[in-house]
């Protein structure tokens, strides 16, 4: 019996040492899949409907949604319109929109009622790195938030040496690394796809394919 406890104790020590090493050394952390690669409908509306349904519990409890969509192209504006419509359909309440969070004061943001959707540039709508907007204007409110960044891709992105060597995902590397990971799941090369991934518990990345790969794969 003593030998068994000794062996178990040794195993736990080894596991602990390995965990400490990995945390200090750093590991390649993958994002969590929330919506698998899905063919985009002709009107693109299924992107919004699928996402709102998948995030229903998060959207129900979250005060702020930080949208990484600026500067907005026409297709992104249309997508946001769909999101507003789908949100209202599910929750029977309209979202309060701050069109450009970089121009809003901390007071305006603090007074924005739930659900408060704030549009931001991509680099300010995630916590992959230190984020002064979030630390300065969102966290002081002590209200729950999530980030959703719309990430366009073509499907033929190459992963740079820099991204291959990264031990943690960065905004620069999220798209090529993640697209490479799910590339084989986009089975029909004649269709456009979207999918949703989660990273760091509250950072959501909505990947939307803009055009077919030039290499036809």
The pLDDT, as a whole number, for residue 28 is: 43
Interatomic CA distance for residues 133 and 71, integer angstroms: 17
The pLDDT, as a whole number, for residue 66 is: 98
Give me the phi and psi of 216, to 5 degrees please. Answer: 75, 10
Half-sphere exposure of 86 (CA within 13 A, CB side): 20
pLDDT under 50: residue ranges of the chain = 5, 11, 13, 16-28
CA 168, 31, 75: angle at the middle one, nearest 5? 110
The pLDDT, as a whole number, for residue 30 is: 63
What lies within 8 Å, CB to CB, of 177 at 6+ separation is 159, 163, 169
What lies within 8 Å, CB to CB, of 120 at 6+ separation is 66, 67, 68, 69, 70, 100, 101, 102, 133
CA 161, 69, 141: angle at the middle one, nearest 5? 105
Can you spell out the DSSP letters for 127-142?
A: -SS--HHIIIIIGGGT
What is the pTM for the complete model shown? 0.81
């Amino acid at each position: 019996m003593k030998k068994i406890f000794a062996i178990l104790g040794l195993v736990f020590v080894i596991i602990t040492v390995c965990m400490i090493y990995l945390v200090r050394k750093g590991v390649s952390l993958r994002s969590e899949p929330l919506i698998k690669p899905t063919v985009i409908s002709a009107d693109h509306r299924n992107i919004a409907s699928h996402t709102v349904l998948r995030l229903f519990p998060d959207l129900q409890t979250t005060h702020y949604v930080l949208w990484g969509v600026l500067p907005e192209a026409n297709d992104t504006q249309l997508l946001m319109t769909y999101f507003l419509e789908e949100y209202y359909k599910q929750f029977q309440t309209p979202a309060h929109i701050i069109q450009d969070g970089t121009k809003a004061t901390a007071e305006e943001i603090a007074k924005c009622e739930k659900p408060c959707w704030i549009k931001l540039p991509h680099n300010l709508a995630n916590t992959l790195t230190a984020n002064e907007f979030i630390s300065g204007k969102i966290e002081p409110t002590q209200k729950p938030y999530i980030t959703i960044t719309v990430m366009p891709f073509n499907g033929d992105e190459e992963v740079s040496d820099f991204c291959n060597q990264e031990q943690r995902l960065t905004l620069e590397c999220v798209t090529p690394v993640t697209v490479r990971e799910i590339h084989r799941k986009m089975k029909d090369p004649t269709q456009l796809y979207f999918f949703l991934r989660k990273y760091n518990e509250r950072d959501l990345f909505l990947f939307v394919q803009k055009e077919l790969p030039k290499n036809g794969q």
